[in-house]
Chain A
Amino acid sequence: QKEVEQDPGPLSVPEGAIVSLNCTYSNSAFQYFMWYRQYSRKGPELLMYTYSSGNKEDGRFTAQVDKSSKYISLFIRDSQPSDSATYLCAMSAASRFGNEKLTFGTGTRLTIIP
């Protein structure tokens, strides 16, 4: 069983819809949770960064972490065609040098239909 599970999709939604992307994990030591966005043939770029449980909002994006259920979510409101990309969840535990080693989900490919 993988440490981080993510539905690969693909997921297609109409423009303006609310998108929900999710990951589950098994390692209870994970404390830092991230969402990366990756456009086709590009490197991943950090979208949201959350420590421990709770919600974080940034514009149209909201990240939620439920450590008791080992479940994280990313919500995209008023989705736009420019949001079409692969979304990767990532997480890490504190280590001897800090929390620098990330474990990634496989990514969910999202398409927003105009």
Chain B
Amino acid sequence: NAGVTQTPKFRVLKTGQSMTLLCAQDMNHEYMYWYRQDPGMGLRLIHYSVGEGTTAKGEVPDGYNVSRLKKQNFLLGLESAAPSQTSVYFCASSRQSGGRYEQYFGPGTRLTVT
């Protein structure tokens, strides 16, 4: 049971380049999330999904797109990277258990945009 995994762990992009971050979970969780973590800003929700084929915007969705084609995978795309998107990106998943929605986080992807 690997939990939540993220690919890649590190990436350096030039301004204007595109990339896709992959999140995979093997816990059969319904909900999945993408966050970014910046110094002094905490974790901020980018997009989330409440089930396969559904996505919704979070607090800071601009410049990002997501897809949830399979229940176990949640992809985060940057179409045209900007230096402001330099951050650590975390994926999380959760399911309801007795009214609780405990979120389990992946190890993170460190992205630098130059």
Contacts and interface: CB of A to CB of B under 8 A. Distances in A.
A98 B94 CA distance: 11
Given A97-B50, A98-B96, A100-B94, A46 B108 contact: no
Nearest to A6: B42
B12 to A, nearest CB: 17
B72 to A, nearest CB: 17
Give the interface size class of chain A: 20 to 34
Nearest to B107: A43
A92 B92 CA distance: 15
Given A101-B45, A106-B41, A46 B90 contact: no
A108 to B, nearest CB: 11
A112 B107 CA distance: 23
Contact of A49 (B100, B107, B108): B100
A101 B31 CA distance: 10
A9 B105 CA distance: 23
Interface in A48-78: 49, 51
B42 A46 contact: no
B5 to A, nearest CB: 10
Interface string B43-67: 1110010100000001000000000
Interface of A: 4, 6, 8, 32, 36, 41-46, 49, 51, 88, 90, 92, 97-102, 104-107
14 contacts: A36-B105, A42-B107, A43-B4, A43-B106, A44-B43, A44-B105, A45-B105, A92-B101, A99-B99, A99-B101, A100-B50, A101-B48, A101-B58, A104-B42
